[in-house]
Amino acid sequence: MTGKVYLVGAGPGAPDLLTLRAARLLETADVVLHDALVHPDTLALAKRAHLVDVGKRYGKVSTEQRFIHRALVAAAQSHAVVVRLKGGDPMLFGRAQEEIEALARAGIECEVVPGVTAALAAAATLRVSLTRRGIARTVAFLTPRVGRDENASAWIPAALGCDTVVLYMAAGASQSISASLIEAGKRADTPAVLVESATLADEARLFTTLGELAAASLPRAQGPVVMAIGDVFREASAIEALARQEPRRHAL
């Protein structure tokens, strides 16, 4: 018997931002190979399944990719329903193509179930649309994280060409990202927002600008960080600044 592998998006963090299809697949799964940061309540849906933590933390490779391929193939060779559960959506920064190809080479059927990606969860929690009439009609999703064989500044034209830019896996890199963008011609007063652990109880956010981010390094983040840049954030940023001043005003 050869089973089928489902590459499933676990969504941005909160367990109820999983899709109905993903929830049903987890309920029927025999084996679930999951990223490290998937919520325990999401994993708890997989009542029947053998759970395997393959240790990926939103793009950081902790488990050797080849090990994941071998484990997926082995699981499908002895189980009917195998779920490969990935943070966010599988088709954005998830190395899904490598897993799809490894399964194809082994003659194993594969299906992809999309999920809510972190950028859209961050937009929802900030209540700022990534597009907006007259302000932003183009959005880039990218990661500045660089592999050995890749050009370190290849992402910059994308970031300059789009009205709104969302950077994935930006934790620890906000200072160098901001400095690079200002050097490439972005205004230092361009609004920037960092959202850590979007949609989870310990969610944190920082409304700032490229100039401020370039000037100082931030404390180390505890969870995954999405960094968003663009004029769509200007008003939310101003409201946030006002809210910070409120208590002081009342004290006068």
Q: Does 251 bind its own copies (CB under 8 A)?
A: no
Q: Does 153 bind its own copies (CB under 8 A)?
A: no
Q: Does 227 bind its own copies (CB under 8 A)?
A: no
Q: Does 72 bind its own copies (CB under 8 A)?
A: no
Q: Does 97 bind its own copies (CB under 8 A)?
A: yes
The whole-angstrom separation of Cα 152 and Cα 240 is 33
Q: Does 215 bind its own copies (CB under 8 A)?
A: no
Q: Which stretch binds its own copies (CB under 8 A): 86-94, 179-187, 213-221, 243-251?
A: 86-94
* Least distance to its own copies, CB of residue 123, Å: 4
The helix (run of H) or strand (run of E) holding residue 51 is: strand 50-53
Could you give the angle at the alpha carbon of 227 between the alpha carbons of 122 and 160, nearest 5°?
120
The whole-angstrom separation of Cα 81 and Cα 216 is 48
Respond yes or no: is residue 60 known to be catalytic. no
Q: Does 94 bind its own copies (CB under 8 A)?
A: yes
**Which letter, b or e, does each residue of 82-102 get, where b requires 16 or more Cβ atoms within 10 Å of its Cβ?**
bbbbbbbbbbbbbebeebbeb
Q: Which stretch binds its own copies (CB under 8 A): 49-57, 110-118, 189-197, 244-252?
A: 110-118
Place of tokens 């390094």: 217
Torsion angle, alpha carbons of 37, 166, 226, 60, to 10: 50
Respond yes or no: is residue 227 known to be catalytic. no
Closest alpha carbon to 227 in 200, 198, 250: 198
* Least distance to its own copies, CB of residue 210, Å: 18
Q: Does 128 bind its own copies (CB under 8 A)?
A: yes
- What's the token pair of residue 163? 């009205």
Q: Does 162 bind its own copies (CB under 8 A)?
A: yes
> Which residue ranges make up the site for its own copies (CB under 8 A)?
9, 11-12, 14-21, 23-24, 89-98, 100, 110-117, 120-121, 123-125, 127-134, 137-143, 147, 149-150, 154-155, 157-163, 232
